[in-house]
Amino acid sequence: MYRSEFLQTLAARGHIHQLTDAEALDAAAAAPGLVAYVGYDCTAPSLHVGNLATIMLLRRLQQCGGRPIVLLGGGTTKIGDPSGKDSARRLLDDTEIAANKASIRTVFERFLAFGDGPSGALMVDNAEWLDGLAYIPFLRDYGRHLSVNRMLAQDSVRLRLEREQPLSFLEFNYMVLQAYDFVELARRHGCRLQMGGSDQWGNIVQGIDLGRRVGCPDLLGLTTPLITTADGAKMGKTAAGAVWLNPDQLSDWDYWQFWRNTDDRDVGRFLRLFTDLPLDEIARLEALEGAERNVAKVALANAATALCRGPEAAARAEATARATFGEGGAGEGLPEARVVFPVGVIDALTATGLAASRGEARRKLAEGAVRFEGQVVTDAEARLPHPGRLSLGRKRHARLVPA
RNA sequence: GGAGGGGUGGCCGAGCGGUCAAAGGCAGCAGACUGUAAAUCUGCCGACGUCAGUCUACGUUGGUUCGAAUCCAACCCCCUCCA
């Protein structure tokens, strides 16, 4: 059992996969002011729910009095992390990276309190020190401490090689720079702990080793389990794509619905991982049976949405859900399409995005999946005379409003 | 460098001159059953189009043919074995 509040919390909520040195970390976390970081690459304009596991780690650290550092990989994104990939991904140019970075950083303000205090969160960009690295001095100062033998044994590299997939020298350097990041953060900000997903274990350990050799001993590492859903899929991938954290990539309504539609078997686990609800409250919600489980799912959706999008957004989404599902109405938060009445059903279906193409709209009509104001519509020629709720299936709804 | 094998729809994977918008599986969507769950069964699943039909697709570019994912040539990429 751990002594520190931080590790106790993480353990109780299911955040821990591996620790490099449990006792040392427990001791470090028990003392005030532990500084820890997680790195995020800027490969997309938004992080997604898959990243939530580590974001929550930073949040919990801050709640326990530690200082979280968000490292945006403006520098490492130029290289591309080969971990878990069979092929190199497209290289992003500087403009894309800068735009992604600017967009990503906004979401952290919801989860962390930034500031200069002892537990104020900090955001840094590794381009700050990586861009200016001089090759030869870097090789002489750090390269000699890095063992190629060991790097080759690293999963991210080994698996690639075993599968006879090409691995460029550029990608090979990713772990070198990540290791260097850790050392740099230790020096600049007294950062002792790097956290990350379980796939980052190798990279984290590299950093710790490098630190030991260049005068930053006693660095620590912690990884979270890869979060999968009960049916075995990686969390956060839906048909529509990733579940983005940024509101301009995914509406509050859809974000809330993502959580509301959680598989029964995942509800307790997700409540612990992704909300701040107290554990005894979670235990109570988790014990609910049958249709009562929906109460737990609403609680999960509310809490998760409140964290990421704010309490108002969560309340709005819940009200929309109640109006839409409970009362058969058309809640305010539903997606809207502006149309000229009367509008053909097929046009309405494509305009609202309920159907991706006119052909699909036609098929769904034939399947009896389309309803307007709760009435099934099967005639592809039907014209909808006035504003109202258009539904495809029981879950997907949209509002038609006058243009 | 030499000898073979291969590149097919979101993924896996059949097809090897017409009946191929292309078997099957997975994923996805919908219907039934439910609790906006799971499991199960059923249907759908390139685009446009009033079920006719048109267009775009089987690595790329040309060619043979009435007709090509299927044959030929060149090119690009990948794999296996040999050096």
- Angstrom distance, A243 CA to B8 C1': 31
**Residue A59 or residue A395, greater confidence:** A59
Name the closest nucleotide to A291, judged by C1' and CA.
B35
Give me the count of residues in chain A: 403
Model confidence pLDDT, tens digit, residues A130-141: 999 999 999 999
Where are the strands (E) in A140-281, listed by range? Answer: 193-197, 220-224, 237-238, 241-242
- Angstrom distance, A291 CA to B29 C1': 25
- pLDDT of A216 higher than 60: yes
ipTM above 0.85, yes or no: no
Is the C-beta atom of A91 closer than 7 angstroms to strand B?
Answer: no
High-pLDDT (> 70) share of chain A, % = 94
Could you say which residues 245-264 of protein chain A have a Cβ atom less than 7 A away from any atom in strand B?
257, 260-261, 263-264
CA–CA separation, A277 vs A263, rounded Å? 19
- Angstrom distance, A80 CA to B7 C1': 26
High-pLDDT (> 90) share of chain A, % = 61
Is the C-beta atom of A163 closer than 7 angstroms to strand B?
Answer: no
Name the closest nucleotide to A257, judged by C1' and CA.
B36
Mean pLDDT over each residue of chain A, to the nearest integer: 89
- Angstrom distance, A263 CA to B38 C1': 7
- Angstrom distance, A362 CA to B66 C1': 36
Model confidence pLDDT, tens digit, residues A246-274: 998 889 999 999 999 999 999 999 999 99
Where are the strands (E) in A15-135, listed by range? Answer: 18-19, 35-41, 67-73, 122-125
- Angstrom distance, A393 CA to B33 C1': 15
A261, A247 contact by CB (below 8 A): no
**Torsion angle (degrees, nearest 10) of CA A51, A72, A17, A21:** -170
Q: Please state the rounded mean pLDDT for residues A175-189.
A: 95
Could you say which residues 166-225 of protein chain A have a Cβ atom less than 7 A away from any atom in strand B?
166
Question: What pLDDT does A345 receive?
Answer: 93
Confidence of residue A370 (pLDDT cuts 50, 70, 90): very high
Is the C-beta atom of A116 closer than 7 angstroms to strand B?
Answer: no
CA–CA separation, A304 vs A314, rounded Å? 8
A399, A330 contact by CB (below 8 A): yes
Question: What pLDDT does A223 receive?
Answer: 95
- pLDDT of A118 higher than 80: yes
3-state secondary structure of A189: helix
- Pull the structure tokens for residue A401: 């409003």
A219, A207 contact by CB (below 8 A): yes
Q: Which helix (H) or strand (E) holds A397?
A: strand A396-402
Name the closest nucleotide to A320, judged by C1' and CA.
B36
- pLDDT of A313 higher than 80: yes
User: What domains lie within chain A, and their CATH numbers?
Assistant: 5-224 (3.40.50.620), 251-326 (1.10.240.10), 336-402 (3.10.290.10)
A100, A41 contact by CB (below 8 A): no
- pLDDT of A312 higher than 60: yes
Most confident of A55-59, A99-103, A228-232: A55-59
- Angstrom distance, A182 CA to B39 C1': 47
Could you say which residues 348-367 of protein chain A have a Cβ atom less than 7 A away from any atom in strand B?
350, 356-360, 362-364, 367
Confidence of residue A88 (pLDDT cuts 50, 70, 90): low
- Pull the structure tokens for residue A341: 């009445």
Question: What pLDDT does A108 receive?
Answer: 96
A336, A401 contact by CB (below 8 A): yes
Residue partners of A76: CB distance under 8 A and separation at least 6: A39, A41, A126, A130, A174, A177, A178, A181
- Pull the structure tokens for residue A16: 């821990």
Q: Supply the angle between the helices A293-309 and A279-286 in degrees, to the nearest 10.
A: 140
Name the closest nucleotide to A260, judged by C1' and CA.
B36
Name the closest nucleotide to A396, judged by C1' and CA.
B36
* Owner of token pair 């991982």: A273
Question: What pLDDT does A35 receive?
Answer: 96
Which has the closest alpha carbon to A266: A252, A285, A241? A285
The lowest-confidence range among A235-244, A285-294, A364-373, A393-402 is A235-244
Question: What pLDDT does A81 receive?
Answer: 75
Question: What pLDDT does A83 receive?
Answer: 66
Model confidence pLDDT, tens digit, residues A316-337: 999 999 999 887 777 788 988 8
- Angstrom distance, A147 CA to B10 C1': 40
* pTM (predicted TM-score): 0.90
Name the closest nucleotide to A240, judged by C1' and CA.
B28
Q: Please state the rounded mean pLDDT for residues A18-44.
A: 93
Q: What region, left, alpha or beta, does residue A70 occupy, with left being phi > 0 and alpha being psi -120 to 50 degrees? A: beta
Could you say which residues 27-86 of protein chain A have a Cβ atom less than 7 A away from any atom in strand B?
none
Name the closest nucleotide to A394, judged by C1' and CA.
B36
CA–CA separation, A122 vs A105, rounded Å? 11
DSSP-derived secondary structure letter, A17: S
Q: Please state the rounded mean pLDDT for residues A288-297.
A: 92
Strand order in the sheet with A336-339: A336-339, A396-402, A388-392, A370-372, A375-376
